[in-house]
Structure 1
Amino acid sequence: MNTINKTTLVWWLGCILLWSASQAQVADEFQKQLNQLKTYENLTLAKVMVVGTNHFKKDVLTPQKQTDLKRLIAALAQFKPTKVVVEWNPKKFDETNQNYRAYVAKKFSIRQKPNEVYQIGFRLARQMAHDTIWLFDNRPAFIGSLEGFTFDKFLGFADKHDKGFYDKHLKTITKVWNYNKALMKKLNLYDYFTLINSDKMSQVNAQRMHAFETRVGIRNTWMGPDWLGRWYQRNVRMMSNVLKIARKGDRILIIVGDNHKWVLDELFKNAPDFEVVSSGEHLLKYRKK
């Protein structure tokens, strides 16, 4: 009986070894095929860094904020951008660049102009000795369920048609929003930019839009999904505007509202023409220098 058991055991062990060897061969063959897959990485034209910002108000003109801005711009300059891109429509290209050239020539003052296009874009481009400011915004029309869109109308629709959902999700979103806003108020301008450009903040912004917008008007007007779809559409067009101006070897720095950052980063990562450089990691790197 023991002899039979030993023989059986040896037979089973042999079967297991043969099966393991065959599986290893299959895995090796799969890995070989996987390694041979061709990608589009050889199409890369340029590096791109998306710098999210709040839309500046007059308080950015105070002496302390101006000091912080100089520090921020010095850090961004370490990226060595060959093009600076701002969140204005290309239709304003001629006017914007006329003002930029006058600014470089000290004939156009930005001292009382709080907009981030001036306070970051113009100053950074001048520091890098650029002769051009690039523009890339594009806002698709509000059509279909979004015709006549306002955020008050959007919230009113959600409140009227799905009160339970509206209360639950809006309270959650507002609670997180207010908590994060209180945290950010404690930061100087440089650290504020480092935080809003972090991967974690990009995740927060993306989750907020997908937690609420996607649910408003389901099986009714589809207002929420249509709004989020328009947001993607706008950012795809913006990315395409950058693609149009990109040249081999470019290092493109984009200044844009921080809620655009999460979607633009993903779009640029999926476009083989670009290599994305993390603005959050870049600012963190130069934070103590």
Structure 2
Amino acid sequence: MFPSRCLIAVTSLLTLSIAAVAQHPPADAPVSIMVVANFHMSNPGHDIHNVNAGDVLQPDRQAEIEKITGALASFHPTEVMAEWPADVASQRYAQYLNSTLAPSRNEVVQLGFRLAKASRLSHFYGIDADGDFPYEPVQVFAQAHGQSQLLERANVEMEASTQTQTALLQSKGITATLRYLNDPVLLSHSNSFYRQMLSVGAGTQQPGADLLTAWYHRNFLICANIVQNAHPGDRIVIFYGSGHAFLLRQCVTETPGFVLVEPNSFLPQ
């Protein structure tokens, strides 16, 4: 039998070894990533179709957001990322932790910062990238070549989805809206808007393809920021506008070592 001192020493070594493994997971440990598609809570009106989000600073909305981030915290994220430039996100998160950030309706603050703080994270990752969205050339070509109806149909579908989101917010709240936005079937259908743009063009004039090239380029830059800031064993939550979610999910599923986690498995019912 081991003397008691030896047993204590062995136990201590085992404890240290387990702690070391937890802090430094194997190089091939998978990166689990949850992409949470969201709507713009501060209503900036920058998109072609915009949700009427109301005032998320109202007490009932704040209580709901607290419940949402509490549920997502059970994923135990090691990093939280969102749709802001890196320098802006880092600076404002530091202010948020110090309680010096002015009240904000922005979803990065309401969802991202709140979850990161609840998870006791000292850093917040802004992973957004600038990009053009050359939609006007698509409209001009479509009008000149009798394709206006194609754009009208595509936009009617997008507007219907936007109105559904607004109605859900008003009748059932933020949780129901997020669960709607994160339905994989809906995300795939929503991405078809961009694919329809490939019909607009002919010969050497391809404004639809140019639009998609610009859109994919921006999302590839965002994907690169995810990949470059991920580490083996990480559990990452990413908050992004729903229009990006399909491609960011594709980024995760097609990157070796990354595992996609469905947010609707964690969002409250």
TM-score, structure 1 normalization = 0.72
Asked if structure 1 preserves the Cα contact closer than 8 Å seen for 2:79 and 2:234, the reply is: yes
Asked if structure 2 preserves the Cα contact closer than 8 Å seen for 1:199 and 1:280, the reply is: no
Instruction: Look up the equivalent residue of 1:248 and give its one-letter code.
Output: P
**Residue deviations 1:81-108 (CA, integer Å, cap 9, x gap):** 1100011223x2xx43233223212232
Structural mapping, 1:58-97, within 5 Å: 59-90=55-86, 92=87, 95-97=88-90
Q: 1:238 maps to which residue? A: 222
**Residue deviations 1:188-224 (CA, integer Å, cap 9, x gap):** 110000000111211121112112x212223242111
CA shift, 1:282, in A, is 3.1
CA shift, 1:122, in A, is 1.1
In the alignment, the residues of structure 1 paired with residue 85 and residue 98 of structure 2 have an alpha-carbon distance, to the nearest angstrom, of 24
Q: 1:32 maps to which residue? A: none
**Residue deviations 1:156-200 (CA, integer Å, cap 9, x gap):** 332223x2x321x23322333343334331331100000001112
CA shift, 1:43, in A, is 4.7
Asked if structure 2 preserves the Cα contact closer than 8 Å seen for 1:51 and 1:197, the reply is: yes
Instruction: Look up the equivalent residue of 2:191 and give its one-letter code.
Output: A
Structural mapping, 1:45-64, within 5 Å: 45-57=30-42, 59-64=55-60
- Percent identity between matched residues is 26
Structural mapping, 1:98-177, within 5 Å: 98-109=91-102, 111=103, 113-140=104-131, 142=132, 149=134, 151-161=135-145, 163=146, 165-167=147-149, 169-177=150-158
Worse overlay, 72-81 or 243-252: 72-81
CA shift, 1:44, in A, is 5.4
Q: 1:20 maps to which residue? A: none
Q: Aligned-residue CA RMSD in angstroms?
A: 2.1
In the alignment, the residues of structure 1 paired with residue 265 and residue 183 of structure 2 have an alpha-carbon distance, to the nearest angstrom, of 7
The alignment partner of 2:266 has SS state of helix
Pick from 258, 261, 264: which aligns with 2:242? Answer: 258
Q: 1:8 maps to which residue? A: none
Asked if structure 2 preserves the Cα contact closer than 8 Å seen for 1:214 and 1:224, the reply is: yes
CA shift, 1:55, in A, is 1.3
Q: Unpaired segments of 5 or more residues in structure 1?
A: 1-41
Asked if structure 1 preserves the Cα contact closer than 8 Å seen for 2:158 and 2:193, the reply is: no
Return the index of the structure with the highest Cα Rg. 1
Q: 1:44 to 1:235 in 2, by over 3 A?
A: farther
Structural mapping, 1:9-20, within 5 Å: none
Asked if structure 2 preserves the Cα contact closer than 8 Å seen for 1:195 and 1:280, the reply is: no
Asked if structure 1 preserves the Cα contact closer than 8 Å seen for 2:82 and 2:238, the reply is: yes
In the alignment, the residues of structure 2 paired with residue 43 and residue 99 of structure 1 have an alpha-carbon distance, to the nearest angstrom, of 33
Asked if structure 2 preserves the Cα contact closer than 8 Å seen for 1:47 and 1:251, the reply is: yes
Count of aligned pairs between the two proteins: 228
In the alignment, the residues of structure 1 paired with residue 55 and residue 136 of structure 2 have an alpha-carbon distance, to the nearest angstrom, of 27
In the alignment, the residues of structure 2 paired with residue 174 and residue 226 of structure 1 have an alpha-carbon distance, to the nearest angstrom, of 18
Asked if structure 1 preserves the Cα contact closer than 8 Å seen for 2:194 and 2:212, the reply is: yes
In the alignment, the residues of structure 2 paired with residue 89 and residue 99 of structure 1 have an alpha-carbon distance, to the nearest angstrom, of 11
Q: 1:132 to 1:170 in 2, by over 3 A?
A: same
Structural mapping, 1:34-53, within 5 Å: 43=28, 45-53=30-38
**Residue deviations 1:111-156 (CA, integer Å, cap 9, x gap):** 2x1111111111111111100000111224x5xxx8xx3x344323
Q: 2:160 maps to which residue? A: 179
In the alignment, the residues of structure 1 paired with residue 222 and residue 89 of structure 2 have an alpha-carbon distance, to the nearest angstrom, of 18
Q: 1:61 to 1:152 in 2, by over 3 A?
A: farther
Instruction: Look up the equivalent residue of 1:170 and give its one-letter code.
Output: L
CA shift, 1:274, in A, is 0.6
Q: 1:251 to 1:183 in 2, by over 3 A?
A: same
TM-score, structure 2 normalization = 0.77
Higher helix fraction (1 or 2)? 1
